């Protein structure tokens, strides 16, 4: 895939994560009176925050994805997207079904941490001169 295709992919996924985050936030607001909103609020925040992180990855994506920094940015984007889906999806399923896919939560959280580390490494791997 070209850098432009990756940018468009990250923008699209960011939009979907952001929309899901807002929808979960609205659901949490409606459930707040019953005290059943805790996990949904957390899931909403993580989706929205990592939607913004993906927009940052999209903005930083330039040049061939096969370069050192390009590979790390691509990995960061994949980890942010999968991590947000697994972490927030696991929290949401646990909230709504109570006995769902609990292992998704730590897998998603680990993916998010690794995504942030990959983003940091992409800066070090970037061989562009400082101006």
Confidence at residue 48, expressed as pLDDT on a 0 to 100 scale: 95
pLDDT tens-place values along the chain, 131 residues long: 888 888 999 999 999 999 999 999 998 888 777 666 788 888 999 999 999 999 999 998 876 656 667 889 999 999 999 999 999 999 888 887 776 667 889 999 999 999 999 999 988 887 666 56
Instruction: Kindly provide the b/e burial profile for residues 17-39, where b requires at least 16 CB atoms within 10 angstroms of the residue's own CB.
Output: bbebbeebbebbeebeeeeebeb
User: Six-digit token pair at 80?
Assistant: 């942010």
Confidence at residue 64, expressed as pLDDT on a 0 to 100 scale: 65
Q: Which DSSP letter does residue 67 get?
A: S
Task: Give the global pTM.
Answer: 0.87
Say if CB 43 and CB 88 are below 8 A apart: yes
User: Six-digit token pair at 24?
Assistant: 């979960």
Euclidean distance between CA atoms 97 and 113, whole angstroms: 26
The residue whose two tokens read 């959280």 is 109
Please give the distance of CA 51 from its chain centroid, rounded to a whole number: 6
């Amino acid at each position: 895939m070209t850098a432009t295709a990756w940018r468009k992919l990250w923008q699209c996924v960011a939009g979907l994560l952001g929309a899901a985050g807002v929808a979960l936030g609205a659901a949490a607001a409606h459930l707040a009176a019953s005290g059943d909103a805790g996990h949904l609020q957390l899931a909403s925040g993580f989706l929205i925050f990592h939607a913004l992180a993906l927009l940052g990855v999209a903005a930083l994506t330039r040049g061939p994805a096969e370069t050192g920094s390009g590979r790390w940015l691509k990995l960061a984007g994949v980890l942010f997207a999968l991590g947000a889906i697994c972490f927030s999806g696991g929290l949401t399923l646990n909230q709504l079904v109570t006995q769902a896919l609990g292992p998704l939560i730590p897998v998603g959280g680990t993916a998010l941490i690794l995504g942030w580390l990959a983003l940091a490494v992409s800066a070090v791997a970037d061989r562009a001169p400082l101006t």
